[in-house]
Amino acid sequence: MKKWKKILLLVGGLAVIAIVVAVSIKQANKDLVVVQTGKVGKQDLTSLVTASGEIKPKTYTNVLGEGFGKITELAVKEGDHVKRGDVLLKLESIQPAADVEAQRASQSASESAVKSAEASYRSAQAELTRAKADYDRAKFDWERAKQLYENELISKQEYDARRAAGESAAAAVDAASARVAQTRSELERSRSTSQQMSAVLTRARDVLRKTTYTAPIDGVVTYIAVRVGENVVMGIQNAPGSYLMTISDMSTVTAEVKVDETDIVNVKMGLECDVTIDAIPGKVFKGKVTEVGTQAVLRTSGLATSQTTTGTQEAKDFKVVVTLLEPPANIRPGLSTTAKIKTAEKKGVLAIPMQALAVRTRKDLDDAEKAAAGKKGGESGNVTLAASKASASGTDPKKEEIQGVFVVRDKKAVFVPVKTGITGVTDIEVTEGLKEGEEIVTGSYRALRTLKPGAPVKVDNKAPAKEENASS
């Protein structure tokens, strides 16, 4: 055989061998999944609920218009510290002051009328007393004359004169009694008129008082909405009066935040918080939860669910008030803020990355068990443990979703059901199912999403670093 033919046969044989080896390697790695892994370890976990909102003073008041008038003086400016009773602004008061003076004069006149009526009443009472005394004397003379006349000691003419005098005295008593009743009525009418004038004067004084606005609380003037020369309108029925200014008591400052409905069940009174303020970067302020809302609020409209008449699937929030323990001196109401509420904290617990958690149905686990049993001649491997639990579903047991992680055992991904506890920022507590030091699959996301129980895996923990370098 010629030399070139031998070389050709040798090259062909090597090519066939290379093809066979390549096919064998490809077949061996057909179901191999490249994954990233991590070790189960102990760490400290803190469960946080993050919510955003704005800074608000615990106590503040909006000063609204109580009467009609034009602003003639603003006695304060924004940022001024005021005490309760300090003058804030004044309205034009010419007409109200004139009304007070007129009503004060009417009140004086009515009081004089009352005094005059009281004097007339006392005079009438004295007249009645005198008339009764005259009647008693005339009656006594009449009775004595009657006895004398019966004994024929006086004439009939004298008797008749004494009887007439007695009847006249009785009539005088009736007239005096009527006069007393009349003067009493006049006195009561005068007193009623005086009370009416007093009420009108009180009203006029109240109108005049409402032309001068004073601070209802101690605090800081945080906003002024009006200027000198503008007109103020009082509230009518359900419409509030003109908004004039806001006074805030900044001694106690709160962060009013909105907590998502899925997290509100974990928020309790007294929980510690870390509060950050957008206007003061780089600083964290300590706080405590002092109020937890019980009424859901629609996220878009801000209305309470009790104010809506129709059901809605819109996202809802709950108001939570966090009181800052040491607020900064330059803080202002309305600043945007974020509160991280510590709902739970544990030391030295088993924890895994949250992305390592996977969910598989009972059917997925059963199929994996059957496939493993077929390959190993009836030996089911470790998947049986994951699928041996009784179904907790009330309908189709095969659709039951089981939460677990993939543990690397003998270069295979074994699905292990786990029970979890509190959730940290990136990790979650495992209370049952894993042991410290076990190697679990932590990535990639695509691998975890499609990974089947019992599938062979190849660990490549350098893949994320390569991806970051490529992207950068």
Contacts of residue 385, defined as CB under 8 A and 6 or more positions apart, other chains included, come to 416
Q: Which of 51, 52, 37, 43 is nearest to 423 (CA)?
A: 43
User: Domain 31-45+351-389+397-471 carries which CATH code?
Assistant: 2.40.420.20
Which 3 state secondary structure label does DSSP give 176? helix
- In CATH terms, the superfamily for domain 51-57+250-348 is Efflux pump adaptor protein, beta barrel domain (2.40.30.170)
**Amino acid type, 137:** R
253 - beta bridge partners? 57
Contacts of residue 45, defined as CB under 8 A and 6 or more positions apart, other chains included, come to 344, 345, 346, 349, 351, 422, 423, 424, 427, 428, 429
pLDDT attached to residue 385: 41
Strand intervals (E) in 261-411: 272-277, 280-292, 297-298, 316-324, 336-353, 358-361, 401-409
Q: Could you list the mean pLDDT of each consecutive 10-residue stretch along the chain, which spans 472 residues?
A: 64 66 51 85 91 92 90 92 94 92 91 90 89 84 80 80 84 89 90 91 91 92 92 80 90 92 92 94 94 88 73 83 91 92 91 90 80 57 43 62 90 90 89 91 86 86 54 42
pLDDT attached to residue 28: 47
Contacts of residue 431, defined as CB under 8 A and 6 or more positions apart, other chains included, come to 350, 418, 419, 420, 421
Q: Which of 353, 375, 369 is nearest to 434 (CA)?
A: 353
Distance, in Å, from the CA atom of 40 to the CA atom of 19, rounded to the nearest integer, reads: 42
The tokens for 34 are: 């490249």
The tokens for 50 are: 């993050």
Distance, in Å, from the CA atom of 211 to the CA atom of 200, rounded to the nearest integer, reads: 17
CB 386 within 8 A of CB 454: no
- Residue 215 dihedral angles phi and psi, to the nearest 5°: -70, 125
pLDDT attached to residue 401: 86
The tokens for 281 are: 């970067």
pLDDT attached to residue 5: 63
